[in-house]
Amino acid sequence: KNEVEQSPQNLTAQEGEFITINCSYSVGISALHWLQQHPGGGIVSLFMLSSGKKKHGRLIATINIQEKHSSLHITASHPRDSAVYICAVPTGNQFYFGTGTSLTVIP
């Protein structure tokens, strides 16, 4: 069992839909990262959060430390949001990654 679990693994949405990607983890952490990997392969760090909620444009990330759960929301999704979204948690000397959620937004 992975220390970090994401759901869904694959997600197809129509342009404009509200999207939610979930991340659950089993290790104790002080923060959680959401990463975006574009179809070309590059990885971009979207959020690093340790409590509550953060918003950047149409992206919103929330975390509940007690429940060991985080969500990434995309409002008014757009085809350029198509990418793989990866949840990552640093703990101790390790950095654990989820398997990623592949999002495809159809025009």
Partner 1 sequence: DTAVSQTPKYLVTQMGNDKSIKCEQNLGHDTMYWYKQDSKKFLKIMFSYNNKELIINETVPNRFSPKSPDKAHLNLHINSLELGDSAVYFCASREGTGRRTDTQYFGPGTRLTVL
User: Parallel, antiparallel, or unpaired for β 94-97 and 43-49?
Assistant: unpaired
CB-wise, 60 or 90, nearer to partner 1?
90
Q: What six digits make up the tokens of 98?
A: 């989820």
Stretch that binds partner 1, among 17-25, 43-51, 52-60, 62-70 (CB under 8 A): 43-51
CA distance 83 to 98: 15
**Site for partner 1 contains 59 (CB under 8 A):** no
* 48 near partner 1 (CB under 8 A): yes
- Supply the minimum distance, in Å, between the C-beta of residue 16 and partner 1: 27
Is residue 65 near partner 1 by the rule CB under 8 A?
Answer: no
Q: Does residue 84 belong to the site contacting partner 1 (CB under 8 A)?
A: yes
Could you give the CA distance from residue 92 to residue 61 in angstroms, rounded to a whole number? 23
Tokens read off for 66 = 């007690």
